[in-house]
Amino acid sequence: MRIMLIATILFLTAMAISQEAKPNATSTNTAELAASTGVTACIGTGADAASLRECEKRDTARLFLIAGKQEAALRILCNTRTAIEVFRPNGALGNDKYEDNVAGNNRCLQAVGLELKGK
């Protein structure tokens, strides 16, 4: 459990650092938000259905990474709630509009060096 939490934090921190390579007002906010965002436990206290779905996404990403499919793993990780919130244009506390979530996912994919399929 701790390893998963540490790996997720390191992943999000690396994404935030890569965002800082392009200096702008949001890159500092992204790094700060990534550092302050927590990941909900998969089991135990506070493990509701939404938390379990997020945990399953991280576990699936981990399995793809083990299988040598890094791109698939990164696409799944960029689709987690935490990654979307970190890269959402209005931040994690912004309104939860679909367009902002899609933009957050797109920014995450760009941060890890991936492009959207079909573009």
- DSSP alpha helix (H) spans, 21-117: 25-36, 49-66, 70-77, 81-87, 98-111
**pLDDT tens sequence across 80-101:** 988 998 898 887 766 778 888 9
Q: Is 119 exposed, middle or buried (0-12, 13-18, 19+ CB in 10 A)?
A: exposed
**pLDDT tens sequence across 16-49:** 444 444 444 445 565 565 556 565 556 666 667 8
The mean pLDDT value for 65-83 works out to 94
Question: Is the pTM above the cut of 0.75?
Answer: no
Cα 4 from Cα 1, distance rounded (Å): 5
Task: Look at residue 96 in the predicted model and tell me its pLDDT.
Answer: 73
